[in-house]
Structure 1
Amino acid sequence: MTRSKSGPPGNSSGGISGAIAGDLEPCGTCGRSVAPRALFCHACGAAQPPRPLDPFTRLGLERRFDIDLEQLTKQHAGFTRAMDPDRFAARGPRQQANAKAQVEALREAYDVLRDPIRRAHALLTLLGGTPAVDDADGNGDEEIADLATRLSRAEDALELDRIGADLSQRVEACIKYLTPAFRKAQTASGPESPPASDGAARILARLERLEALAADVRDRRAALTPPRP
């Protein structure tokens, strides 16, 4: 089994070591085989260009919705420090460009995973699921419709704050329910597997509608706040 370190050259404890799924590719500097997730070539230490990876794999995290956000931050910070383009100044512009591209790819993965909606979309895609669409019968939307009506009639900051608080509670509930929904989808097997992600997709769709209303509340609330002198 091929093993590759994603830590900096000369540091055997840096990064994450382990088997990486996917096709090996040759290092552009020494030609030795490099795993898709490797930041460095384990043979010569050359910075590798980022390969197409899902955000969980890029940051060395388990594919699950309830990720450890503290660990996410540590992974991102550690990998980003290791790929500081200034470290590669003596290696020439090509490796500096690779390091910069790695930093950008790590940042994009971090931004996806720290946002519950984007993280859920990423995981749903990995499970082969598809985003839910509003169903024609409006099942499950009555509560959201009521909140939208309240928002359309709100005329003062106090009512907007009440609506905002209600939305916040429902957003937190959706995020909480996504964890078991994704676990169910990930543990399903056989011909029932594809529909198993439907529950998570429906909760995600509801979460997005709630977030859209919350954003509207924030915008309207900001419009009622007098500018600072």
Structure 2
Amino acid sequence: MTPDQFLQSPDAMNAVYRQMARQAAERFRHYGWKVVDVEQKGMVLPLVIGKGPLSVICGDGRYARYFQNHKELNPQCTISIFGGAYGAQALRFGGTLEGLRTLAEYANKNGLVFRTHGDEHGEHHEPADFNCGFLGKWAERKLRGVMPLEIPKQEFPDMLAHAQTLGFGHDILPGVHEERVLVLNFAPGTTVAPQATRFRVDGWVAGSYLGLTNLVDVSRQTVELLKKDVRAVTIVNP
């Protein structure tokens, strides 16, 4: 199913997404997080569909500055999950080169471009091209409820090169982490408006559009591992 086919009548799914949002709020409260529920106005941007593929990117807040400097990547043509392509592999397609190829086939069939990222300075003590916090925690097997990454670190350059030959995008993010909150969005057909001070995850893709059934819990784990002082989530209702 292509993005425009899936998103052409999101109102029909709003009851489902409201239930998903309630369940997510309960889950975060169970783990001691501060939860704020908001309506979608002002917090999210409508997706631009039907004019090209949607990009699936990482929920890293540093993309806010990246968008400013790279106008070719429109935030309204993106969906955010932690890890981008790596997140989709971990949650559904598998942490192997075969999983990468299967993800590429899925992307081509469904009008998507999956992206990976590094940063300018190796903030998580990895080479710049692989300095994605999600990738690091996945490689260290610190994330529960995901498929294991079976590609050793010394083969990451080959993995990235293979991903790019399959049509994946790769971004180098500027600056340092400034996030103070996770925004989890359940308003279908929208994406969280980018800001450097917030992690962004479009939770409405969980269990529905991309079929990433553990997305909410893995998002919580990722933030807890990357920024131990962040225990606040804003949940956007449809």
- Higher-strand-fraction structure: 2
- Higher-helix-fraction structure: 1
TM over 0.5: no
TM-score in terms of structure 2 length: 0.20
TM-score in terms of structure 1 length: 0.21
Q: Answer with 1 or 2: which has the greater Rg.
A: 1
